Structure 1
Amino acid sequence: MQSLKILLLGAAIGCGAALPAAASSSDWYNSEGGKVRLVTSGKADEDGRIHGVLDIALKPGWKTYWRDPGDAGVPPQIDVSASTNITDAAFSFPPPQRHDDGYGKWAGYNHPVSLPVTFTLSSPGDAAVIDADIFLGICETICIPVQTRLSVDPAADPDNAEDAALVKAALATLPAPAKADFGIKVLPGNHETLVVEATFPGDPEAADFFVAGERDYMFGAPARSEKDGRLVFTIPILDRPSTTPTDGGLYYTLTSAEGAVEGVLPFP
């Protein structure tokens, strides 16, 4: 992907003003490569969470990024600090595809995509208004940023069947949890590589492995090898923290011809 500097040079292109919250879905915000909006299913669930999606309608030929955009991209970001009664918002990601644009290999989507997002309420019994500052990169031959505030009042139209169906459909696209016969096993590596063995259904040629670099980790594109009928991915560690974290782990997605799973692996 083109360098991050190119993205930042065009930042003014994608800026949008906040709009009044008036419905359980926001208005569309239009940019050069497509449009985005925020949709919610309305009511909070019993755990005090509101489920929604960032709906990204890309124009033909345009792409956007997965949770790890590679060494020169921008992952989707959401800031809900201006919201009322919302403490947190977290994206979930459908299985990505591998892209190579001549500048590098990266993970993302070359089609319209709806990213599920979960909003956590401070006080589950009270009303909430979402004012979400959105930032994401979309790319054709060059990349441009899309930056806007999308506003939603989930209680304004809490029984909108179309919105609820969109959220439900987006959640259905997410990878299933990894399991013994469809997942990965971490193999011995070294300071500069992460090595995993993949178990999955279907054709090995259709399998791919994606790991998200977080907590100051950065990964290169995986190299594939087969040994004794096993598929192994060796992933270069391009950068890492000075001290290996002891809490949490790294998100990964394993795709195959018959679906996808996700999980968390230990910090290498």
Structure 2
Amino acid sequence: MMILFRRILFCLLWLWLPVSWAAESGWLRSPDNDHASIRLRADTSANGETRLLLDVKLENGWKTYWRAPGEGGVAPSIAWKGDMPEVSWFWPTPSRFDVANITTQGYHDEVTFPMIVRGTLPATLRGVLTLSTCSNVCLLTDYPFSVTPTVQNADFAHDYARAMGKIPLRSGLTDSLDVGYRPGELVVTATRAAGWSSPGLYLDTVDDVDFAKPRLRVEGDRLQATVPVTDSWGEKAPDLRNKSLTLVLADGAIAQESTQTIGTAPAQTPDNAALPFWQVVMMALIGGLILNLMPCVLPVLGMKLGSILLVEEKSRSHIRRQFLASVAGIIASFMALAAFMTLLRLSNHALA
């Protein structure tokens, strides 16, 4: 009797194990990329939706990308196999990476992407994840996977809720938000009664437009972000007014995703007003004094002054005319150099 009971228990365990294994793909690595591991998990919720979690683990120093990578990189994507309904992919708040004047938006260490599928699904979900990972080099890697959803798994529900907690909210961060455009710049202005501690701005993709790193300025409860804008060739950007833009504004652990129609930004006011003329003259005099005290100039001036003092038969007016002639020659030389450099600039040329 005991032997029969053990056999029945053994068979039940074998029937149960494939179901638990199929609820996730397990950690997958590619022989072409040992810097990243991915795992896909699936669960069917009480309201008939199928929830997915894509886990990505990266080695130290490696990163992957947000849905809008920025000036480089490729966003993660899945090519589903079979008759697959539309998948709603949720993106956690990214971080910004700046390398060699190239700004990108993405994730490091580890990240979990929650997804929801509504409709009739195949019994087993199959597809290929394409993931871009970068460090000093960039790798574009494919990960084939298959997973069979479980039914209302408590551990999965906890992980899914935690992952959704990192998705930007639709409201709750800003009291007001305005997006405007002026030639070459996008201006985002937001107010928050609680103030700003560590703000961040992440912009979605706009066709034929490249956004550079935002310049952030906080004044009390007001945040203003100025973003240099060019076209995809690095030239003059198209007019962005009346176009729709999705952005994520973050402050610490709180983030808000908003879609705004771009308006007209006020004309740019210089951060630093023009210096008064007397200050410019004083700076020029101080610069000239410093130049004359340099070791390559001071001995020459001393020799010239000594030669003048040794010439006793010359009149004071003659010596004064010599000094004025030297000054006129110096000024004329620098004016000629300035005119030459101006002509080069106007003709779009430069000296190497």
TM-score class normalised by the smaller sequence = 0.7 to 0.9
The letter of the residue matching 1:27 is: G
- Given the superposition, is the C-alpha separation of residues 201 and 245 from structure 1 closer, same or farther in structure 2, using an over 3 Å criterion? closer
Q: What secondary structure is seen at the aligned counterpart in 1 of 2:224?
A: strand
CA distance in 2, matches of 1:246, 1:230: 24
Q: Give the alignment's TM-score, normalised by structure 2.
A: 0.59
Aligned to 1:10: none
By relative contact order (CA 8 Å, sep 6+), the higher-ranking structure is 1
Point out the structure with max Rg over C-alpha.
2
RMSD, aligned CA: 3.0
Count the aligned residue pairs: 237
Aligned to 2:41: 39
Is the CA contact 1:202–1:257 (under 8 Å) kept in the aligned structure 2? no
Q: What secondary structure is seen at the aligned counterpart in 2 of 1:204?
A: coil
CA distance in 2, matches of 1:45, 1:127: 18
Q: What secondary structure is seen at the aligned counterpart in 2 of 1:167?
A: helix
The answer to whether the aligner puts 1:166 opposite 2:166 as a matched pair is: no
The letter of the residue matching 2:226 is: T
Once the two structures are superposed, residues 27-58 of structure 1 have per-residue CA deviations (whole angstroms, 9 ceiling, x without a partner) of: 22113212001112x21553x53221210011
Q: What secondary structure is seen at the aligned counterpart in 2 of 1:164?
A: helix
Alignment of 1:92-131 (within 5 A): 92-121=90-119, 123=120, 128-131=123-126
The letter of the residue matching 1:96 is: P
Once the two structures are superposed, residues 183-231 of structure 1 have per-residue CA deviations (whole angstroms, 9 ceiling, x without a partner) of: 6522432253321112246563510111111444432221223468622
Is the CA contact 1:201–1:258 (under 8 Å) kept in the aligned structure 2? no
Aligned to 2:222: 230
CA distance in 2, matches of 1:200, 1:133: 42
Aligned to 1:27: 26
User: How far 1:146 moved relative to its partner?
Assistant: 2.2
Is the CA contact 1:210–1:254 (under 8 Å) kept in the aligned structure 2? yes
Alignment of 1:1-268 (within 5 A): 23-30=22-29, 31-40=33-42, 42-44=43-45, 46=47, 49-80=49-80, 82-84=81-83, 86-121=84-119, 123=120, 128-154=123-149, 157-179=150-172, 182=174, 185-200=177-192, 204-226=196-218, 230-239=222-231, 249-266=244-261
Once the two structures are superposed, residues 60-84 of structure 1 have per-residue CA deviations (whole angstroms, 9 ceiling, x without a partner) of: 222111111112211111222x134
Once the two structures are superposed, residues 170-192 of structure 1 have per-residue CA deviations (whole angstroms, 9 ceiling, x without a partner) of: 1111112124x526522432253
- Given the superposition, is the C-alpha separation of residues 207 and 23 from structure 1 closer, same or farther in structure 2, using an over 3 Å criterion? same
Aligned to 2:311: none
- When you count strand as a share of all residues, which structure comes out higher? 1
Is the CA contact 2:64–2:134 (under 8 Å) kept in the aligned structure 1? yes
CA distance in 2, matches of 1:226, 1:94: 24
CA distance in 2, matches of 1:227, 1:193: 20
User: How far 1:95 moved relative to its partner?
Assistant: 1.2
- Given the superposition, is the C-alpha separation of residues 243 and 105 from structure 1 closer, same or farther in structure 2, using an over 3 Å criterion? closer
Is the CA contact 1:183–1:261 (under 8 Å) kept in the aligned structure 2? no
The percent identity for this pair of structures is: 25
Is the CA contact 2:68–2:204 (under 8 Å) kept in the aligned structure 1? yes
Structure 2 gaps, min length 5: 1-20, 264-352
- Given the superposition, is the C-alpha separation of residues 206 and 245 from structure 1 closer, same or farther in structure 2, using an over 3 Å criterion? closer
- Given the superposition, is the C-alpha separation of residues 201 and 29 from structure 1 closer, same or farther in structure 2, using an over 3 Å criterion? farther
CA distance in 2, matches of 1:193, 1:45: 48
Is the CA contact 2:181–2:240 (under 8 Å) kept in the aligned structure 1? no
Does 181-190 or 90-99 show the bigger shift? 181-190
The letter of the residue matching 1:120 is: R
CA distance in 2, matches of 1:132, 1:191: 44
CA distance in 1, matches of 2:45, 2:174: 33
Q: Give the alignment's TM-score, normalised by structure 1.
A: 0.76
Q: What secondary structure is seen at the aligned counterpart in 2 of 1:210?
A: strand
CA distance in 2, matches of 1:97, 1:177: 19
Q: What secondary structure is seen at the aligned counterpart in 1 of 2:68?
A: coil
Once the two structures are superposed, residues 76-120 of structure 1 have per-residue CA deviations (whole angstroms, 9 ceiling, x without a partner) of: 11222x134x22123211111111123512111122110112223
User: How far 1:255 moved relative to its partner?
Assistant: 0.8
- Given the superposition, is the C-alpha separation of residues 60 and 261 from structure 1 closer, same or farther in structure 2, using an over 3 Å criterion? same
